[in-house]
Structure formats: C-alpha cells, structure tokens
Amino acid sequence: MMELLLGQVLRFAGDPFTDGPDAARIERRGAVLIDRGMIRAVGPADEMRTAWPQATLRDYGQALISAGFIDCHMHYPQAGIIASWGKQLIDWLEQYTFPEEIRFADKCHARAVARLSLDLALSHGTTSLCSYATSHPGSVDAFMQAAQARGMRVLAGKTCMDRNAPDALCDTPARAYDESKALIARWHGQGRLSYVITPRFAPTSSPAQLEALGALWAEHPDCPMQTHLSEQTDEIAWVAELFPQARDYLDVYEQFGLLGHGAIFGHAIHLTPRERARLVEAGAGVAHCPTSNTFIGSGLFDMAGLRAEGLAVGLATDTGGGSSFSMLRSMAAAYEIGQLRGTALHPAQLWWLATVGAARVLGIDGHVGNIAVGMEADLIVVDLASTPAIAQREARAEDLWEALFPTIMMGDDRAILETRIAGRACAPAAG
C-alpha cells in the first residue's frame, strides 16, 4: 500500500558544515511517498497528490517530517544505570558499568533490556543505532533478535576485554576472536543487521587481544570497528603507561590494525594534532557524545575545528554514560558545548549530525539518515509545538530554523508524534 505523508519536509542535499544551511532542503508544504518500505518520491504536496491520487493520505499539518535519528554510539546494557550520580570515567566503569554488565550472563535479563532500550530509542525518534553489548555473546544475540523483531537497521558487537575488568567479564584473545567471528557469521548482513568488531578500549585489552581483533577486522573489512578514544585525561595517561612504545593513544590502535575506513571512535575529545590529522587521513569517524562528556566531566569536544579539518563526525547519546535517551537532548548539549568553545552550531548542522552525519560515520548513509528517492523509509514526524513553553516560542518564529530550534533545545519524546520503520508506524514489539 502506498502512503503519502504530508507536512513540512526536511532533507539534505549537502553538508551544512561545508555548504552552509542551504544544504538543507525545506518543503513547507511537502510530501513523501512511501511504497513497500522505501521512499519513492518527494516533492510539493499538491503536485504529489495529483501524481499519486491512489495513495493513502496522512496529513500532519505543520509537523516536520524528517529522517529518523541515528545514534552512532551507545551501550544498551547501561540503560538501567543511566543518570547514576557522581563519577568520572574509571570510577563509573568500576562502580556502575561492570556490575551491571555482569548481569547479562542471564539471557532473560539481556532480552528484557534489549527490548526496553530499543523501545525507548524508538519513542524518542531514533530509528537506527550502533551499540556495544557486553562480553557475553548472548547479549549480542538478544539485541539483534529484538532489533530484528522491530525491523530496525542496527549495528552491535560483543565488547571484548581481557584485563583491568572483573573476571566475570573478561575473555581471552582467543575467545574474543572466536566468539566475535561466530557472531559475525550469525548476524552480519542478516536483513538490516550489521556486526561491529568491538574492543572496549585500549586499557581493557592486552596487546595480544588487540592484535587478534585487528586480524579479525582484516579478515572482515566490511564490518565496522568501534572503540573509545581520548575521553578523559586520566585515561590517556593510563594508556601511555600501558603502551609506552606508542606515540599516542590513537597509535595504539593503529599498531594493531584497528585504524582505517569503518573505524568509529567514541568521544575523541583530547586529541593531539597528529591524531587529528591521522584520523582524517585514515578515513575514520568519530562519535560525539555531548551529554556524556558533560555528565561525567570529560571535556569539550572541538566540533568546529575537527569538522573544518575534514573529520567525519556523528552525534550519539552514549547511553548510559550519556544522561538522556533523546537525540534532541544530544543536539542541545552539542550546541551548548559549541557555545563554550566559541562556535554556535546552526540548527541545520545539529540536525544533520543526528541524521546524515551519524549515518555516514556508521557507513549506512546509502540506506538511512536522509529523505531521498531510493532510501529506506525510516522517518519521524516531529511536533514543533509539543509543550506550552516550546509552542509559545515557535509561534513567534519567522522561519523554520527559528521554529525548530526550541524543539532542539527543549524537546523530548513528547515532540515525536510518530516513528516509522521501513514505512510502518511502529509500536513496542513483543519480541
């Protein structure tokens, strides 16, 4: 059944960081034609209604129709410890993260949290995400099965660790390789699912484990690779102690074959000039996690500088170090961090980071993240007057950006009128 969605349609014809806000295309009374889960046409509403009179109409008035949000770095097992008080990175891991992740040896627990985390993401307008699981292969199975039941395009991987973590979470270099390889065979490329090779970060993997995972990535270069990089200064000093032969933190990964196109590095706040240049040269991407960076006191990401240098950047929640499931809140925090660094990000740039930019970092921008003919119809409908405070500000707006910005800064799941996965309006799934 063909459906014609009517409203204000926002899509991108370029990158607003390099092409300016005009890279966004705004149809104030537009339409999107959906047929069998794909976007078949986009254009002015009147022309589209005339061209496809047989399509079922869904008129959302002044609501905004956009590609769904893409969260390029999160930890679904940490959903239950989101907004935990008073820790920075290493203490956070030891007091909150590791005890919580031990619970995922229980497959029933893993399935319950996977379902919850995906339903929370969908309720906030996030249609695709890239998640760390735990070191238990069953935690990957649970997440992939839940995503499959919802028809979502997701990426995930077993988090590999063989030192500086509780015994209950540690594997070995051989197990990390073997279990990851088995999970690749089971899930990578199955429908809309992708496997991500996942060393947690350099301090929790021995040189032997990093070498094994680098070898695995060389064998499966179509898989992305995700890890953490330069989140906090204490972490960087720890890495220097553990890997004294490395030039810097990034060099640790490069020495073991874990730098290249398809690499996704979370945070990347405290980079040296060499690291910045090398990330661009290697074609790697970075996940900016602003609510996490402020919540656990990591630092201020240099969005303007890194984008000017040509680094691929996407936006992420970093649940549960990040303090919200909402990509709107991530956009607001990115704006605030930009202000502290002296650069006010335009609403077009913020929205692009949460859609096209994040999809590009994950290597899925040919499928999702934008509204264009031939793309998968993962869409959201956004109420630009979802609360009294937002509505009174939106009513004074003189253009769409001024109308949209209050939702970016103050919006939450109440702003998401509808989330569509492959064209279908979704509700919490049973699986």
Same-domain status, 197 and 331: yes
Strand boundaries in 179-235, DSSP class E: 193-195, 198-199, 225-229
Same-domain status, 240 and 91: yes
Task: Determine the structural domain holding residue 307 and report its residue range.
Answer: 69-362
Give the predicted TM-score (pTM) of the model.
0.97
Is a pLDDT exceeding 80 seen at residue 430? no
**How many whole angstroms separate alpha carbon 431 and alpha carbon 119?**
11
Instruction: Among 316, 332, 362, give the residue marking a domain's end.
Output: 362
**How many whole angstroms separate alpha carbon 385 and alpha carbon 315?**
24
| Mean of all residue pLDDT scores within the chain | 97
Residue 96 lies in a domain: yes
Same-domain status, 182 and 106: yes
Domains of the chain: total: 2
Same-domain status, 187 and 251: yes
β-sheet bridge partners, residue 382: 64, 416
Same-domain status, 61 and 140: no
Residue 431 lies in a domain: no
Residue 430 lies in a domain: no
Is a pLDDT exceeding 50 seen at residue 429? no
Same-domain status, 168 and 142: yes
Instruction: Among 309, 338, 362, give the residue marking a domain's end.
Output: 362
Strands 379-382 vs 56-67: parallel, antiparallel or unpaired: antiparallel
Same-domain status, 240 and 272: yes
Amino acid type, 64: L
Query: ∠ at Cα 198 (171, 99), nearest 5°?
Result: 55
Same-domain status, 126 and 265: yes
Candidates 125, 188, 159; CA nearest to 408 is: 125
φ, ψ at 288 (rounded to 5°): -85, 125
Alpha-carbon Rg for the chain in angstroms: 21
The domain that holds 62 is classified in CATH as 2.30.40.10
Q: Out of 91-95, 147-151, 269-273, 365-369, which region has the weakest mean confidence (pLDDT)?
A: 91-95
Instruction: Among 316, 342, 362, give the residue marking a domain's end.
Output: 362
Q: What angle do helix axes 137-150 and 107-123 make, rounded to 10 degrees? A: 40
The residue-averaged pLDDT of 236-246 equals 98
Over residues 280-332, the pLDDT tens digits come to 999 999 999 999 999 999 999 999 999 999 999 999 999 999 999 999 999 99
The domain that holds 237 is classified in CATH as 3.20.20.140
Same-domain status, 45 and 157: no
Over residues 50-68, the pLDDT tens digits come to 999 999 999 999 999 999 9
The residue-averaged pLDDT of 388-414 equals 97
Is a pLDDT exceeding 90 seen at residue 92? no
Same-domain status, 75 and 56: no
Q: Are 355 and 71 in contact (CB under 8 A)?
A: no
Is a pLDDT exceeding 70 seen at residue 427? no
Same-domain status, 164 and 278: yes
Residue 122 lies in a domain: yes
Q: Are 66 and 384 in contact (CB under 8 A)?
A: no
**How many whole angstroms separate alpha carbon 109 and alpha carbon 115?**
10
**How many whole angstroms separate alpha carbon 99 and alpha carbon 121?**
23
Residue 32 lies in a domain: yes
Over residues 176-207, the pLDDT tens digits come to 999 999 999 999 999 999 999 999 999 999 99
The residue-averaged pLDDT of 341-356 equals 98
Same-domain status, 53 and 195: no
Candidates 245, 263, 227, 235; CA nearest to 164 is: 235
Is a pLDDT exceeding 60 seen at residue 392? yes
